[in-house]
Chain A
Amino acid sequence: MAHGHLDLLLLGVLRRGGPLHGYAVIAGLRDASGGEFDLPEGTVYPALHKLERNGFVRSDWSIVDGRKRRLYALTGTGRAALAAKKKEWAMFRSGVDAVLA
């Protein structure tokens, strides 16, 4: 379920947390979902790379705690994409709610 909306979830975590390295993104996703979204962690990195390729996030190498890490941050395009995806999600959710009510 989470895999189908991984882009939206990752953009959401990055909007909350600012520039984050991959481990922090995954931890943020797990914490924010109350442990609901516990994905195979390694598959989150290709998703981040895809978001970067599409211009939704940018990344740079940085040394954090003495270790080389890639820090990811939302771009302006990413913020706009997040807003659009949130709107789509809200419409989808209200549609499902209406059917199930």
Chain B
Amino acid sequence: MTDEDVIERYLDELLVELRGSPRTIRRVLTEAESHLRDAVAAGVEPDEAVRRFGQAHVVAAASNRLSGTPVSVLLRQLLVAACLLCAIGFTSIGASGVISGGMDAAFGPRFVAGDLPSITYTSARCDEYRRLAPHEPSCRSAAARHHTNEVETFRVASGVFGLAGFGAWAFLRRRWRATPATGALPPALVPGIGAAVFGTGALTLASQAMQSIGWRSTAGLGQWLSAAVVSAVVAGGFGVSLLRTLRRSPVARFD
């Protein structure tokens, strides 16, 4: 390894360990490089100059303590990130409600939220369903209509709530705008959480749908299927965003 390599490798290690604003990091690196080259110019061996300067993680820790992100800034940025995730989550539920409505129109309410054939109703419960869905010919179809209406209505209402969440997110983001110099959260945080949460949700909902198929009945399949499809699509979107974010990470640890 050449003298140049020893200093360059040390500066690389220091860069990876440093936290704080780009300006602070550039300043620390410039001073470190200037110091090491001064030492070498004064006749100190590069290895010895690096040893005297201190281990990269020790020097970085001392610098990082000074440039730590204030808790208030961290909490604000966490709130903005949480707002975005909640808005996407509730809007996704709304989208699954719209898809459920499409399935209702195409395959009927039994497919969306009908009860399994093994479910029986008391006469009081049956009367209640018939009162809520008077045009349905049977107690079972009235129950399916009632459940389907609930699925569609509650999910679409969640979607409206989610759209309002996007508005709140846009407002907060503009109010507490984070620049590359003030961004305290890793850029991959939101897409990482989103991919994990929606991916898990998609798998869970898909397994629920498969369970319905396993019972040799399509009754109620639509409510799980619609949610699983939306979750899978959103998880895929977050996954692509995560990959893009990781690929354009400013510091690559390996050449």
A: residues with CB less than 8 A from B are 21-23, 26, 40-43, 45-47, 49-50, 53, 67-70
Q: Give per-residue flags for B14-42: 1 if the beta carbon is below 8 A from chain A beta carbons, else 0.
A: 00000000000001101110110111000
- Which residues does chain A contribute within 8 Å of B28, judged by CB atoms? 45
B: residues with CB less than 8 A from A are 27-28, 30-32, 34-35, 37-39, 52-55, 58-59, 62-63, 65-66
| A43 and B34 within 8 A (CB) | no
With beta carbons under 8 angstroms apart, the residue of A21, A43, A67 that contacts B59 is: A43
Chain B interface helix/strand/loop/mixed: helix
| B62 and A43 within 8 A (CB) | yes
With beta carbons under 8 angstroms apart, the residue of A47, A49, A50, A69 that contacts B34 is: A69
With beta carbons under 8 angstroms apart, the residue of A22, A40, A50, A53 that contacts B31 is: A22
Complex: chain B residue closest to A26, CB-CB: B35
Cβ distance B8 to chain A, nearest Cβ, rounded Å: 16
| B35 and A41 within 8 A (CB) | yes
| A70 and B54 within 8 A (CB) | no
| A23 and B54 within 8 A (CB) | no
Cβ distance A54 to chain B, nearest Cβ, rounded Å: 11
Known contacts A67-B34, A68-B34: does B52 contact A49 (CB below 8 Å)?
A: no
4 closest A-B pairs by beta carbon, nearest first, are: A40-B54, A42-B59, A42-B54, A46-B62
- Which residues does chain A contribute within 8 Å of B52, judged by CB atoms? 40-41
- Which residues does chain B contribute within 8 Å of A42, judged by CB atoms? 32, 35, 53-54, 58-59, 62
CA distance A43 to B31 in the complex (A): 12
| B63 and A45 within 8 A (CB) | yes
| B30 and A43 within 8 A (CB) | no
Chain A interface helix/strand/loop/mixed: helix
CA distance A43 to B39 in the complex (A): 16
Task: Jot down 28 A-B pairs with beta carbons below 8 A, ordered by A.
Answer: A22-B35, A23-B39, A40-B53, A40-B54, A40-B55, A41-B35, A41-B54, A42-B32, A42-B35, A42-B54, A42-B59, A43-B58, A43-B62, A45-B31, A45-B63, A46-B59, A46-B62, A46-B63, A46-B65, A46-B66, A49-B63, A49-B66, A50-B66, A67-B34, A69-B31, A69-B34, A70-B27, A70-B30
- Which residues does chain A contribute within 8 Å of B35, judged by CB atoms? 22-23, 26, 41-42, 45
CA distance A26 to B54 in the complex (A): 13
- Which residues does chain A contribute within 8 Å of B53, judged by CB atoms? 40-42
Given contact pairs A26-B35, A68-B30, A70-B31, a sample of 19 additional A-B residue pairs in the complex whose CB atoms are under 8 Å apart: A22-B34, A41-B35, A41-B53, A41-B54, A42-B53, A42-B54, A42-B58, A42-B59, A43-B58, A45-B32, A45-B35, A46-B59, A46-B63, A46-B65, A46-B66, A47-B62, A67-B34, A69-B34, A70-B30
- Which residues does chain A contribute within 8 Å of B31, judged by CB atoms? 22, 45, 69-70
Cβ distance A85 to chain B, nearest Cβ, rounded Å: 20
- Which residues does chain B contribute within 8 Å of A47, judged by CB atoms? 62
Cβ distance A8 to chain B, nearest Cβ, rounded Å: 18
- Which residues does chain A contribute within 8 Å of B62, judged by CB atoms? 42-43, 46-47
- Which residues does chain B contribute within 8 Å of A26, judged by CB atoms? 35
| A67 and B37 within 8 A (CB) | yes
